[in-house]
Amino acid sequence: MKKTVFLGALTVAGLVGGAAAAATLDDVKARGTLNCGVTTGLVGFAAPDANGVWEGFDVAVCRAVAAAVLGDPTSVEFVPTTGKTRFTALASGEVDMLARNTTWTFSRDTDLKFEFVGVNYYDGQGFMVPKALGVTSAKELDGATVCIQTGTTTELNLADFFRKNNISYEPVPIETNAEGQQQYLAGACDAYTTDASGLAATRAAFENPGDHVILPEIVSKEPLGPLVRHGDNEWGDIVRWTLNALISAEELGVTSANVDEMASAPTNSPEINRLLGTEGNLGEMIGLDADWAKRAIAVGGNYGELFEKNIGENTPIGLARGLNAQWTDGGILYSPPFR
Partner 1 sequence: MTTMTDPPQASFRLSQLIYDTRYRSYTFQFIALMLLVALMAYLGANLVTNLAEQGQNIAFGFLAEPSGYDINQRPIEYDSQSSHLRASVVGVLNTLIVAFLGCLTATIFGVIAGVLRLSPNWLVRKLMAGYVEAFRNVPVLIWILIIFTIMTAVLPSPSAFRGDNSESSMLFGSFAFTNRGIYAPLPIWEPGSQVVVLTFLASIAGAIYYRRYATKLLYDTGKLLPMGWPSLVILFVPTILIFFVMGRPISLDYPALETFNFQGGMQIRGSLIALWFALAIYTGAFIAENVRAGILAVNRGQTEAAASLGLRPGRIMNLVILPQALRVIIPPVISQYLNLTKNSSLAIAVGYMDVTGTLGGITLNQTGRAIECVLLLMLFYLTISLAISAVMNLYNNSIALKER
User: Which residues lie near partner 1 (CB under 8 A)?
Assistant: 10, 13-15, 17-18, 21, 83-84, 87-88, 91, 107-108, 111-113, 132-133, 140-145, 150-152, 155-156, 158-160, 162-163, 169-175, 182-183, 186-190, 230-231
**Is the Cβ of residue 191 or residue 297 nearer to partner 1 in the bound state?**
191
Q: Write the DSSP assignment of 186-213 as a string of letters.
A: TTS-SEEEEEHHHHHHHHHTSS-GGGEE
Q: Cβ–Cβ contacts within 10 Å for residue 140, how many? A: 14
**Is the Cβ of residue 141 or residue 243 nearer to partner 1 in the bound state?**
141
Mapped onto helix, strand or coil, the DSSP state of residue 171 is strand
- φ/ψ bin of 263: left (φ > 0), alpha (ψ from -120 to 50), beta (otherwise): alpha
Q: How many CA atoms lie within 13 A of 314 on its CB side?
A: 6
**Measured from the CB of residue 171, what is the shortest distance to partner 1 in angstroms?**
5
**Measured from the CB of residue 100, what is the shortest distance to partner 1 in angstroms?**
14
**Is the Cβ of residue 148 or residue 333 nearer to partner 1 in the bound state?**
148
Name, in order, each residue with C-beta under 8 angstroms of 85's C-beta and a sequence gap of 6 or more: none
**Measured from the CB of residue 106, what is the shortest distance to partner 1 in angstroms?**
12
**Measured from the CB of residue 190, what is the shortest distance to partner 1 in angstroms?**
5
**Is the Cβ of residue 64 or residue 138 nearer to partner 1 in the bound state?**
138
Find, among 114, 107, 117, 128, the residue nearest to 177 by Cα. Answer: 128
Residue 145's φ and ψ, nearest 5 degrees, are -95, 125
Q: What is the DSSP letter of 23?
A: -
d(CA 257, CA 229): 34
**Is the Cβ of residue 32 or residue 231 nearer to partner 1 in the bound state?**
231
**Measured from the CB of residue 230, what is the shortest distance to partner 1 in angstroms?**
7
**Is the Cβ of residue 60 or residue 158 nearer to partner 1 in the bound state?**
158
d(CA 54, CA 8): 34
Amino acid at 21: A
**Burial grade of 178 (CB within 10 A; 0-12, 13-18, 19 or more):** middle
**Is the Cβ of residue 149 or residue 248 nearer to partner 1 in the bound state?**
149
**Measured from the CB of residue 156, what is the shortest distance to partner 1 in angstroms?**
5
**Measured from the CB of residue 169, what is the shortest distance to partner 1 in angstroms?**
8
**Is the Cβ of residue 159 or residue 320 nearer to partner 1 in the bound state?**
159
∠ CA 65-324-123, nearest 5°, is 90
d(CA 287, CA 80): 28
**Measured from the CB of residue 189, what is the shortest distance to partner 1 in angstroms?**
8
Contact (CB, 8 A) for 199 and 192: yes
Angle separating helix axes 233-252 and 24-31, nearest 10 degrees: 80
**Measured from the CB of residue 217, what is the shortest distance to partner 1 in angstroms?**
17
Determine how β-strand 125-130 pairs with β-strand 191-195: antiparallel
**Is the Cβ of residue 91 or residue 323 nearer to partner 1 in the bound state?**
91
